[in-house]
């Protein structure tokens, strides 16, 4: 499903301007690997490159948001806007050793992830496209939809992001469900 959506956006972009540069952004490096499971894209593990099977001559760059800092592209496609442990925002618990060397900002929930999301959104000169699942969309995307008027939504999103109040832990490589556990209700981020 992700591959089909990304392919449709790539097609839309190249129909508007065939010379547009396109950046595929993932929260993690393995997001490109997941994209290749659709059969719509080929991921070269050695180079980190992604190629569309339908549009093999279109230059697509893939990188993580961390790596994209300071870069600019005509169009950006964020391929991992899911509310999951390895989604965006990442819900991976911090390394206990890092807490002694890195100062955390606890004034806002997911403060560092918010900064990273801002980096992702601002890598484009024209448009940014977010691939969001109907169920369990990123809380950041829900905030954009509610608070930022120029957002255009194609399709439906379940805005009740934690209706089942379950955290789903999946293997970051194969996406097999490893565990489900109840989460405490989060407060609104107003």
Return the DSSP state at 68. H
Q: What are the domain boundaries of the chain? A: 2-162
The pLDDT of residue 9: 95
- Answer for the pair 86, 38: CB distance below 8 angstroms, yes or no: no
Residue 171 has pLDDT above 70, yes or no: no
How far is the C-alpha of 190 from the C-alpha of 181, rounded, in Å? 26
For the entire predicted model, the pTM comes to: 0.77
Cβ-based neighbours of 21, under 8 Å, separated by 6 or more: 59, 61, 73, 74, 75
Residue 159: pLDDT band (50, 70, 90) is confident
Distance (Å) of CA 150 to CA 11, 101, 128, 167: 22, 39, 12, 31
Q: Which two tokens stand for residue 81?
A: 């806007």
Q: Which CATH architecture has domain 2-162?
A: 3-Layer(aba) Sandwich (3.40)
Mean pLDDT of 144-157: 79
Cβ-based neighbours of 98, under 8 Å, separated by 6 or more: none
Residue 190 has pLDDT above 60, yes or no: no
Nearest Cα to Cα of residue 92 among 114, 115, 65, 113: 113
The pLDDT of residue 112: 80
Note the pLDDT tens digit of each residue in 17-76. Answer: 999 999 999 998 888 988 998 899 999 888 878 999 999 999 999 999 989 999 999 999
Note the pLDDT tens digit of each residue in 71-114. Answer: 999 999 999 888 888 888 788 766 555 455 555 555 667 778 88
Mean pLDDT of 12-17: 96
């Amino acid at each position: 499903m992700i591959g089909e959506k990304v392919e449709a956006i790539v097609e839309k972009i190249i129909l508007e301007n065939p010379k547009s540069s396109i950046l595929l952004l993932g929260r993690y490096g393995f997001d490109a690997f997941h994209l290749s499971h659709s059969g719509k894209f080929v991921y070269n593990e050695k180079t980190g490159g992604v190629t569309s099977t339908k549009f093999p001559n279109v230059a697509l760059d893939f990188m993580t948001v961390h790596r994209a800092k300071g870069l600019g592209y005509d169009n950006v496609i964020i391929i991992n806007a899911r509310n999951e442990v390895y989604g965006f925002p990442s819900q991976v618990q911090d390394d206990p050793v890092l807490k002694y060397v890195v100062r955390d900002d606890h004034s806002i929930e997911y403060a560092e992830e918010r900064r990273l999301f801002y980096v992702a959104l601002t890598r484009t000169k024209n448009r940014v496209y977010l691939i969001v699942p109907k169920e369990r969309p990123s809380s950041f995307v829900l905030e954009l939809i509610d608070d930022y008027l120029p957002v255009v939504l194609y399709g439906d999103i379940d805005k009740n992001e934690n209706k089942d109040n379950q955290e789903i832990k999946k293997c970051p490589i194969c996406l097999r469900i490893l565990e489900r556990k109840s989460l405490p209700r989060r407060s609104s981020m107003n």
